[in-house]
Amino acid sequence: MGDSRYKRVSRARPCLICGKPDWCSRAADESVSFCARITNGADRLSKKERWGVFYHERAAISQSRDFTGEPRNSLKQDFSIPLAPLEIRDYIYNALFRLSPASRHDIITIGAKGLRERGLTNYQDYGSLPAYTKDRQELAEQLRLLLNQNFPNFVRANPSGLAHVPGFWIDKNGEARLWQKRNYSQPLLLIPYRNPSGKIQACQIRFTGILSQDAKRYLWLSVPKNNSAGCGTPIHFADWKEFGKSTGIKHILVTEGAIKADIVNKLLPEYFAIANSGIGCAQDLIVSISRGRSMRIAFDSDYHQNPSVIRQLARFLRLRLADNRTNNSHFPTEILHWSANHKGIDDALLNASEISALSIPQWISQISNASRSLILNELDDFIAQ
């Protein structure tokens, strides 16, 4: 029957679906996840909150669940502030990168795990957030002035002004703010998520230095709880300068995180590298983008240990194979495989690990029995068992 109590996710125990430490809930026995961000591939939607409900044991779907009500999102949020047009977001983020470039801080560029160590020397393509609140507030005020001067019609029509750009907000005194109202020990790296035309849709933050065990290294530059626009989960096109050219010649390579895609773009230029922010995010969009092209999947290797991750990968494969069938497409889908010593394809590349491309049946034959069962249950009408 399962435990009908609910528990909030936390940094120590983030959501198994979206990987975030807030908003979402789970059954106390961990048999069910209630994800506030991802509904794609859910077994059902909750009645009130319309969250994605994911059963981690297939047998649990048919069992009666004596839940009392549904988990509610107790965080006070305001989704009434719409997202600024792409033109404005791109302008503000580019201005932020100019005013606070990544090159300003050695720890971001040449420090341990910095851009150079990861094979990236195009520092001008990245920005930074100062460690101190007062410095970030000064940046916010400068960017607010630029917005007012260059987009007066938008500002007149949208009184919240800069708050329509994710990461920025207006405090109770009417002052412009950037990111959280707290100080950090080190500056933060800003990573752009670019569309196929190279415009910056949103940014992610990478925390530098040593973090506590339960802290997340990457977060979106987004503070909707402060009455600011949310950024969603956009796709990053690392090879945007070439995207759309030479159709069919390059494989599309799909990975997690813009930095990984940028590293692939530099070290494996034979691919068109794109990235989402997590294995369960924007799956339909990725399938649509890759239609009519060969695809190679390079998600992190933690699916070997996490059944929820393998289940999301199975759903993604199903979407891709179903799309191929619907469109009578015969372009292959392969999964890149590397040493288990390296979690992501970026680490595998930087450590010269051998990377092989496996067909889906070849890959299935190499994973654990438990993972194989989950995959085959999802793909039973596409792959002979």
The verdict on residue 231 lying in a domain is no
Average pLDDT over residues 102-130: 96
Query: Domain check: are 31 and 130 in the same one?
Result: no
Spatial CA neighbour of 250 closest among 292, 286, 195, 281: 292
Contacts of 257 (CB under 8 A, 6+ apart): 204, 218, 275, 277, 344
Return all residues near 256 (Cβ < 8 A) that are at least 6 apart: 275, 276, 277, 278, 279, 299, 300, 344
pLDDT tens digit sequence for 276-317? 998 888 999 999 999 999 999 999 988 777 787 888 899 999
Residue 385 has pLDDT above 50, yes or no: no
Q: Can you give the CATH number for the domain in which 357 is found?
A: 3.40.1360
Residue 78 in this model has a pLDDT that exceeds 50: no
Give pLDDT, residue 19: 72
Same structural domain for residues 178 and 293? Answer: no
In this predicted model, which residue has the larger pLDDT, 1 or 310? 310
Residues 178 and 274 in one domain: no
CATH number of residue 175's parent domain: 3.90.980
Per-residue model confidence as pLDDT tens digits over 167-226: 999 999 999 999 999 999 999 999 999 999 999 999 999 998 888 777 889 999 999 999
Closest of 382, 360, 381 to residue 371, by C-alpha: 360
pLDDT at 301 (0 to 100): 86
pLDDT at 57: 63
Which percentage of the chain shows pLDDT scores above 70?
A: 90
Would residue 73 count as lying in a domain?
no
Q: What is the pLDDT of residue 55?
A: 79
The HSE-up count of residue 145 (CA atoms within 13 Å, CB side) is 5
> Would you state the pLDDT for residue 60?
53
Count of domains forming the chain: 3
Task: List beta partners, residue 163.
Answer: none
Q: Are 313 and 299 in contact (CB under 8 A)?
A: yes
Q: How far apart are CA 230 and CA 191, in angstroms?
A: 16
Q: Which amino acid, residue 193?
A: Y
Q: How far apart are CA 103 and CA 97, in angstroms?
A: 10
* Same domain membership, residue 334 and residue 262: yes
Q: What mean pLDDT is reported for the chain?
A: 87
pLDDT computed for residue 15 by the predictor:
82
Question: Which of 21-25, 45-49, 123-127, 128-132 is predicted least confidently?
Answer: 45-49
Domain shared by 18 and 39, yes or no: yes
Q: Are 37 and 233 contacting, i.e. CB atoms less than 8 angstroms apart?
A: yes
Query: Tokens standing for 10?
Result: 């936390």
Rg for the chain (alpha carbons), in Å?
Answer: 21
Say if 360 falls within a structural domain: yes
Q: Is residue 104 part of a domain?
A: yes
Asked if residue 219 and residue 119 are part of one domain, the reply reads yes
Share of the chain above pLDDT 90, in %: 61
Task: Tell me: pLDDT of 321 over 90.
Answer: yes
Position 62 scores a pLDDT of 52
Domain containing residue 254: 236-378
